[in-house]
Amino acid sequence: MRLNKEDREILRAVEVVLEGISLAFGNNCEAVLHSLEDESHSIVKIVNGHVTGRKVGSPLTDFGIEILKKAAVLETDVIGSYYNKLDDGRLLKCVTILIRNTKGKPIGFMCINIDLSIPLLDFLKEFFPKTDESSNNIAEHFPLGVKDLISSILEKVMNSVNIQREISFSEKNKMIVLELYKKGIFNVKGAVDLVAKKLGISRYSVYNYLREARSEEL
């Protein structure tokens, strides 16, 4: 099957997804990207290939070929989860995702294979921080809506600025707006109105502070 430039770019964009899956699920999760340009050497990217022993250049599986034959009548392009047993007896939990181009034509597969045969304790260790990864902890807020997102960030910035008692009220407001600008919060629709209301200042004042912030970047 001949893939064009756009098809290959779509597949290349998926490569980073494989890296993310591996980081999320650990070394016992294999993530594979197949290109349908050459089914006999279809794997173009693989992370944790030790799970099945495959590498870049390995062929498409028989199940992949079967899915491809049914591509026109599939109700969903996400197949699974399902279970597969390797020749050595290990059990895998698998998900296969058919990748199509902008015209709906199949151009590749992304496959996720999790080795369930490892001891439960070893499996769980992948989901807890290691000693040398303690610095990777991030306090991330998961907002339920835009207002929640803006309010959460605004509250943190206000708390950090308001403890500086020697600064005037107007200077604090300016610092808050500048800090929010650095965090990119004003790229979110509705941020100016919400910030102005929370700080008790006009939208005009917020825009003035933003102009100052942008001029300092020049």
pLDDT over 70 at 136, yes or no: no
Of 112, 80, 113, 100, whose CA–CA distance to 36 is shortest? 100
Give me the helix-helix angle, 169-182 and 146-162, nearest 10°: 130
Q: What single DSSP character describes residue 88?
A: T
- pLDDT of amino acid 152: 86
Average pLDDT of the chain is: 88
Q: Residue 52 forms beta bridges with which residues?
A: none
pLDDT at 140 over 70: no
Q: Predicted confidence band at 108 (pLDDT cuts at 50, 70, 90)?
A: very high
CA atoms lying within 13 Å on the CB side of residue 93: 8
pLDDT tens for 158-182 read: 888 888 878 888 888 899 999 999 8
Helices 191-199 and 146-162: crossing angle in degrees, nearest 10, is 40
Torsion of Cα atoms, 52 then 55 then 58 then 62, to 10°: 20
The least confident of 117-121, 128-132, 177-181 is 128-132
What integer is the mean pLDDT of 106-125?
A: 89
Cα gap 5→43, rounded to integer Å = 18
Would you place residue 97 in the very low, low, confident or very high pLDDT band (cuts 50, 70, 90)?
very high
- Domains belonging to the chain, first-starting first, are 5-133 (3.30.450.20), 138-217 (no CATH)
Environment class of residue 48 by beta-carbon count within 10 Å: exposed (0-12), middle (13-18) or buried (19+)? buried
What pairing do the DSSP bridges indicate for beta strands 106-115 and 29-35? antiparallel
Question: Binning pLDDT at 50, 70 and 90, where does residue 48 land?
Answer: very high
Q: What's the pLDDT at 42?
A: 94
| Cβ atoms of residues 78 and 116 within 8 Å | no
> According to the model, what pLDDT value does residue 3 have?
92
Is the pLDDT assigned to residue 46 strictly greater than 90? yes
- At 139, the pLDDT band (50, 70, 90 cuts) reads low
Number of H helices, E strands in the chain: 7, 5
CB 206 within 8 A of CB 183: no
Q: Is 7's pLDDT higher than 90?
A: yes
Residue 92 banded pLDDT, cuts 50, 70, 90: very high
Whether 144 shows a pLDDT value over 80: the answer reads no
Q: What percentage of the chain has pLDDT greater than the value 70? A: 93
Which comes out higher in pLDDT, residue 49 or 126? 49
Are 37 and 26 in contact by the 8 Å Cβ rule? The answer is no
CA dist 205 and 188 (Å) reads 18
Question: 3-class SS at 70?
Answer: coil
Write phi, then psi, for 157 (nearest 5 degrees): -65, -45
